[in-house]
Chains A and B, each alone.
Chain A
């Protein structure tokens, strides 16, 4: 399933785009296939750099993203990534060259300045956090745009500075790779060493403070690491969309797991996948910047997890809900069969559909559909040309259990919670489907193995469960359950 986004993207690509090729100026292959072959042969240093770069940036962004998503700081990441733009321009101005180190230092400083300004606005004014983030994001970005347009009108070689806006995996060079490796290594090292500290400050800052963790220091360190990760990802993803590489893989992982270390691992994995797929597709096509492609790849993974995630996926949840409501419906039918049998004091085995429909105040067709469902689950068999149903031993046992749950709960509510007997039915109607054996046992103990519910009807005991559909006399006090023969 994890390769699906790549395949989908490839299929899309093949259908939409004709053979536009020669991504890097000096090559003349023109077919998509040739380009793909070239990409996978790893012959080219630029291909190698792009692949290594996207893997490294996927890891560092995924790790940091995991923390900012669980800390609800996702939009702080967005602000930080926009705020680095003036730093990029100033780093370029330092010696009028795309020197990765100068740009790294400038961008990091600008990002941290932006983060500090957000904190300062929040502390000293009545403006709320979202406004403070918006102000810093947009104004720093505007300063950056002014500087970039100014630089473009200056004499000298300034090509490729636009690449920082939307990213270009092809322009990753050796020095960029070294920087990325250092930052990713640092992130891995710090997260590995201080995992406990980061975990506790992320989930319960007040507890961490009380337990004596240096919360402020940890927060500053995390912000610094975040700024580093954003800055090294700039060259490949671009200023505008770096935040997506932080947020989307981590949010995808958040849909799939509840454990922080698994979340971090999955986030890094999804980041790497999105980075590699984006870099690959941007090699195949002309004039589509890398950043948006990586982001779309990450979004595809998110969409897949959104629908098909095993625990929190929308489809799975819908399926679970549907099967649960079908089960409740079945159990209600079983209960109705029991009630019909009880009303005629358990004489005769079968219950005609007509009786069932009357009991549930439904049409005959609805009763027939529900008995069909019962038969499907081997709770009952149809007799008399489909006009009557007989419960199987399984069905009988389940029906007894449901009625027992219902009546035990009613009794519990009246005896222990002192609720009037005419007010307990609705509650019992809901809880009868979810009471487990353990709880039932506890209820029976608490109620001293009572045999009559508040309305005077008998509570089916173990004898009834065991005897299948045989009629039974006045219930005996029950002391325990024996397994069914």
Chain B
């Protein structure tokens, strides 16, 4: 057991990453935060539309797109991957639609068939070419967020600008002399997260109405099909950009966990969106330290921490929390017991409880006439 769980040392596992290892820590945590924010914001709408498992399906299917790109020997750069993922995601949505519409197979089985076959296709294509490309099946599952800080791109700044940037906090991480040194993946993911946040802000009303009340959306002139496919397309883009860092399957957790936690704590959408971002930040931070401590997959640890937060919310939430449930039930039981007690004449005498009001004489006659008898 000691081998499995090493001793926890505050200095080594919490403080050191932020002092000596700051350069990699910052990029990894930022990456996790961006992934969780982008996924979580979209995931909220999936949860509202009861499409959480369509998100699961799309995150698996994206692998087929990547596999096809690998086999065609395309450059695995950002635009190619985005387009491949977009096509794969839409293909998955279409396949689910087609199976569901043209056969009597129910939607859940249609989802199951579509994503498993696309995922299998992706794995086969990628393993046929493995060794020749830098994507392998391990990466599909765990992601390689730890490798994010290794890649760098540099940008030379004008001296005046560099001086200004130097005053910003933690400038030693991204400024070297006059050069701005950045991790490209993190910057890209940052843009994706920003784009998602902006889109959710701009189309807030459309998404809200079409998620809660499709009929009202239709009468307001919002095209539900367009909203649906736009959401799926955006989802595919987010999934593929998150893919390399957290892996295809853990993306599902990033999609669902923040939103689900927020849904337990509030019923108002703006609050839920804010809580989603909070969950993303907390989950990423805690997950990073968990991974440092246990020396395990960082992406996996992000999700485990997120799950911890979910369980906490599940336990303590004022609406849906287990404790609240238990408390309410206990109160109800106590009240019922008291009432039962009050009904026995002996208890009335001994406990000096107020006697029940006398029944007005006309009521029994009414009861007799009514069908209740």
Task: Give the B-binding residues of A (Cβ under 8 A).
Answer: 16-17, 69, 72-75, 77-78, 82, 93, 121, 124-128, 130-131, 133-135, 137-139, 141-143, 145-150, 153-155, 162, 165-166, 240-241, 243-244, 246-248, 250-251, 254-255, 287-289, 291-293, 295-296, 299, 302, 306, 312, 314, 317
- The answer on a CB contact under 8 Å between B109 and A145 is no
Within 8 A of A (CB), among B264-317: 264, 291, 294-297, 299-304, 306-307, 310, 314
A-B contact count (CB 8 A): 214
A170 to B50, CA, bound (A): 40
- The answer on a CB contact under 8 Å between B304 and A153 is no
Q: A74-B112, A255-B103 are in contact. Are A149 and B142 (CB under 8 A)?
A: yes
- Chain B proximity of A141: nearest CB distance (Å): 6
Task: Among A73, A131, A134, find the residue whose CB has the most chain B CB atoms closer than 10 A.
Answer: A134
A254 to B103, CA, bound (A): 9
Q: A74-B111, A135-B256, A292-B121 are in contact. Are A130 and B300 (CB under 8 A)?
A: no
Is B119 on the interface with A (CB-CB < 8 A)? Answer: yes
- The answer on a CB contact under 8 Å between A146 and B128 is no
A78 to B52, CA, bound (A): 13
- The answer on a CB contact under 8 Å between A131 and B260 is yes
A306 to B263, CA, bound (A): 39
Is B182 on the interface with A (CB-CB < 8 A)? Answer: no
For A138, list chain B residues within 8 Å (CB): 56, 249-250, 252-253, 256-257, 303
16 A-B contact pairs sorted by A residue (CB < 8 Å) = A78-B112, A125-B314, A127-B263, A127-B264, A131-B47, A134-B252, A134-B253, A135-B260, A142-B302, A145-B300, A149-B142, A154-B4, A162-B138, A291-B120, A292-B119, A312-B104
Is B113 on the interface with A (CB-CB < 8 A)? Answer: yes
For A128, list chain B residues within 8 Å (CB): 47, 50, 52
A288 to B67, CA, bound (A): 13
Nearest residue, chain B, Cβ from A305: B103
Q: Per a CB cutoff under 8 Å, which of A74, A137, A165, A241 touches B106?
A: A74
A317 to B141, CA, bound (A): 40
The interface bits of chain B over 124-136 (1 if a CB of A lies within 8 angstroms of the residue's CB, else 0) are 1001101000000
* A-B pairs, 8 with minimum CB distance: A138-B253, A142-B303, A244-B116, A292-B120, A145-B300, A139-B307, A247-B112, A295-B120
For A295, list chain B residues within 8 Å (CB): 116-117, 119-120
- The answer on a CB contact under 8 Å between A166 and B112 is no
For A153, list chain B residues within 8 Å (CB): 295-296
Task: Among A93, A125, A248, find the residue whose CB has the most chain B CB atoms closer than 10 A.
Answer: A125
Q: A74-B106, A147-B296 are in contact. Are A130 and B50 (CB under 8 A)?
A: yes
Is B105 on the interface with A (CB-CB < 8 A)? Answer: yes
Q: A139-B303, A247-B109 are in contact. Are A126 and B320 (CB under 8 A)?
A: yes
Task: Among B112, B249, B259, B306, find the residue whose CB has the most chain A CB atoms closer than 10 A.
Answer: B112
